[in-house]
Structure 1
Amino acid sequence: MTVTPPRFKAGFSETAQWSSACNEVLLGLGDIPEESNLGFIYLSDNHADDFGSILTYLREKTGIEHWCGTVGIGVASIAGDKFGRIDSREVYDQSALVALIGAFPSDSFQVFEAGQIEMDEGVRLVVTGDGVEKWLTENKPYLGVVHADPRDYSLPLQLSSLAAGLETYLVGGLTSSRTEMLQVADHVAESAVSGVLFNANAPAITGLTQGCSPIGEQRMVTVSEGRRIVTIDNRPALDVLKEDIGELLSRDLSRIGGYIFVGFPIAGNETEDYLVRNILSIDTGDGSLEITEETQPGQPIFFCRRDSDTARKDLNRLLDDLRARLPSSPKAGLYFSCLGRGQALFGPNSEELNVIRQEFGDMPLVGFYANGEISHDRLYGYTGVLTLFY
């Protein structure tokens, strides 16, 4: 009987010295399939200064030319360690390096960067890179795995424009780093957005899971100034917030940081997804709220809380949905989760990844904990975005 070699493999290391970390990842990967032609790499910001050396070393040792990835304060993997043992790992605030390699059909993908240029209608992202223009004339991408710089407030609009221009469903996350905001798209750089595009010859499905749950009823912004919400339902925004969070929390508003957020429902979304944004400040004088999103009068709004039980249930809902949609068993995964999830929401011992592993077994998977998550054409927060290749 002929045994088909795996199309995907993943390796993991927590070693601080970069070359030793690379060697441990290579041991975790084991024998490299000859057809392997694309790698994903995520490393902790402890390794950021050596990103270029790590990329060069892995490229030489694997023979894989094309790579994409970024830096994260935390990284995640279901991968082999230096002894070849498969385990799920969520690592924060310490050295970690994970890599996933794949054997994709020839011409099924294209690594790219998207730089910012000034247009008459404002700043836009324009796709660049070796062979990108030719590949796009010959292929119709349906999926883009992307990594983006979190420092640009115009990024949500630019991501929407990029997805529309490419007619592509985007998944990914914003770099999270206490040092340089580095990405790799065949080379290491600080890019606005970079990643890899896939055509239908590299089949995958994707989905999003929320980490917050709505409280109170859906309301409407009635007066706002940029990111400052003055009134909701023609009442001071703070009065509405207090009503929805209850008397106990209202007595000490300092306790709501990292627990209470604002949510914006996405019109026409069949899965009832919503965008979660942070409350930056509260003005007890005029009752206004400053948040991390510009709003408009007439915009639907509600308050929500970060909720461990609901997050776990919604992750299981996502996994059930993906399982039902898969035409065959998944071969590998990419997972982009929020820094506010992981241990903070699911508890220690890599519980978030263990939920995924319980559903799909020892499927190779890598990802990182992001400053924001990208799904379709929007920037989310406190979510997890799971993409499965099959």
Structure 2
Amino acid sequence: MLSRERSQQLAVEEALESIAVDLQGEAPDLILMFVYSSQTDQYSAMAKAIAECYPDVALVGCSAAGVVGGGHEIEHEPALSLTAAVLPGVQVEVFHLLPNEMELLGDEPLMWRRRFGIEPAAEPSFVLFADPFTCDTNLLIRALDDSYAASPKVGGLASGGRSPGETQLFAGAEIHSVGAVGLVLRGNIVMDTIVAQGCRPIGAPLFVTWAENNVLCQLEGRRATEVLSELYDSLSFDDQKLFRRSLHLGVVMQEGEQEYSHGDFLIRNVIGMDPESGILSVGEQLENGQVVQFHVRDAATSASDLEAMLSRCKQDLGTARPEGALLFSCLGRGESLYGIADHDTNLIASSLGNLPIGGFFCSGEIGPVGGRSFLHGYTSSIAVFRPQYSQLG
């Protein structure tokens, strides 16, 4: 539910009234709350109002520079998004992790499983919201992948703050400015994931023949900048313009495929190049023998990529009916990319049906590519929820 009331008290009252109507008086098990960043000083009052209305609800969320709800995407202006869910047969747990706690847990799967009290066989799903200034998000998602390899993880970094302490994380009645909060869901629920990175390939897939950390030295035995220059000369005028302003490198996450398509590449920025030495620096650790392909991004490409990923999701769902979705979209998408409001929300609705969609605009998005979870940029990471089995059965 979405409220654009500038008064925080009126906003939460309006959103709660909408929830009561939509749920026909039934109490929700879960509410996700995303608040425009300038309104977080009233979070405690908002949380109190929600708790008074629904004493047993699990509440989680964060501050944001823009929120998603009620079929709309509201950017850079006051708004409150409450997404409520009735989840029969689902165990819902809200958690908060401090930075030093994550460091102590480290890369030990057994320690992380003890922390949550959940074994992989329970098939939990994770929704994560992290502070961009104090949380080692890469450590968090790597540790969760190692501890719960088959479990989906989605989410994003809280946005709207320019320095530590300016972004807020919500867990129940508590407000935090460090670490990460999140949800663990298990039982009668399936969380399908979509990661639309908004890029299309140019040129051909290439083998990395020399790389050191995030420095790409050779492709197919040739200097990286030489290959890149040759690729540029082969492009159309329009693609050359995109090349100059939005060049990215896609890294294949699952080797051995005969062909590569949407979702096979982890997209990372090309940070810089040195024509004299022939090297490129990119935003990802590279290894010799990996397959990579250069990519470009623009509004049309981002739209078609999301359409393709949604089409694949719809096909995979078959006759299963999704009940709701969460959208975690980059601050670089939205109106600034497409020139229109509600673009990604409308695409989701047109593909998967008119289901409730909540979420926010992130400083970084969490989602899986090739069986592993990553922190992305310029991405829409989407969670689509459905029951695992019918309650009527």
Equivalent runs, 1:197-216 vs 2, <5 Å: 197-216=184-203
User: What is the count of residue pairs matched by the alignment?
Assistant: 366
Q: Work out whether residues 249 and 256 of structure 1, in 8 Å CA contact, stay in contact via their aligned partners in 2.
A: no
Equivalent runs, 1:1-390 vs 2, <5 Å: 11-31=1-21, 33-77=25-69, 79=70, 88-105=71-88, 108-114=91-97, 115-118=101-104, 126=112, 132-133=116-117, 136=118, 140-151=122-133, 155-167=137-149, 168-179=151-162, 180-186=166-172, 187-246=174-233, 259-268=246-255, 272-324=263-315, 325-376=317-368, 377-379=372-374, 380-390=376-386
Kindly state the Cα deviation for residue 27 of structure 1 after the two structures are TM-superposed: 3.5
- Alpha-carbon separation, structure 1, partners of 2:251 and 2:265: 5
C-alpha offsets along residues 81-137 of structure 1, whole Å, 9 cap, x if unaligned?
A: xxxxxxx211222222101111112552222234413368699984788xx43xx26
In structure 2, relative to structure 1, the CA distance for the partners of 1:316 and 1:137 (3 Å cut) is: closer
In structure 2, relative to structure 1, the CA distance for the partners of 1:265 and 1:248 (3 Å cut) is: closer
Kindly state the Cα deviation for residue 217 of structure 1 after the two structures are TM-superposed: 1.5
In structure 2, relative to structure 1, the CA distance for the partners of 1:157 and 1:137 (3 Å cut) is: closer
- Alpha-carbon separation, structure 2, partners of 1:74 and 1:257: 29
Q: Which residue identity does 2:288 align to in structure 1?
A: P
- Alpha-carbon separation, structure 1, partners of 2:324 and 2:248: 33
- Alpha-carbon separation, structure 2, partners of 1:113 and 1:153: 11
Q: Identity of counterpart residues, as a percentage?
A: 25
- Alpha-carbon separation, structure 2, partners of 1:364 and 1:242: 46
- Alpha-carbon separation, structure 2, partners of 1:34 and 1:350: 29
Q: TM-score, normalised by structure 2?
A: 0.80
SS, match of residue 95 in structure 2: strand
Higher strand share: 1
Q: Work out whether residues 335 and 367 of structure 1, in 8 Å CA contact, stay in contact via their aligned partners in 2.
A: yes
Q: Which residue identity does 1:102 align to in structure 2?
A: A
Kindly state the Cα deviation for residue 304 of structure 1 after the two structures are TM-superposed: 0.6
- Alpha-carbon separation, structure 1, partners of 2:358 and 2:273: 38
- Alpha-carbon separation, structure 1, partners of 2:381 and 2:292: 23
Kindly state the Cα deviation for residue 12 of structure 1 after the two structures are TM-superposed: 0.6
Kindly state the Cα deviation for residue 155 of structure 1 after the two structures are TM-superposed: 3.2
C-alpha offsets along residues 162-200 of structure 1, whole Å, 9 cap, x if unaligned?
A: 123134221222222324232223232135332111123
- Alpha-carbon separation, structure 2, partners of 1:194 and 1:357: 28
Q: Which residue identity does 1:142 align to in structure 2?
A: P
In structure 2, relative to structure 1, the CA distance for the partners of 1:137 and 1:261 (3 Å cut) is: closer
Which runs of 5 or more structure 2 residues have no equivalent in the other structure?
387-393
Q: Work out whether residues 248 and 296 of structure 2, in 8 Å CA contact, stay in contact via their aligned partners in 1.
A: yes
Q: Work out whether residues 113 and 191 of structure 1, in 8 Å CA contact, stay in contact via their aligned partners in 2.
A: no
In structure 2, relative to structure 1, the CA distance for the partners of 1:155 and 1:204 (3 Å cut) is: closer
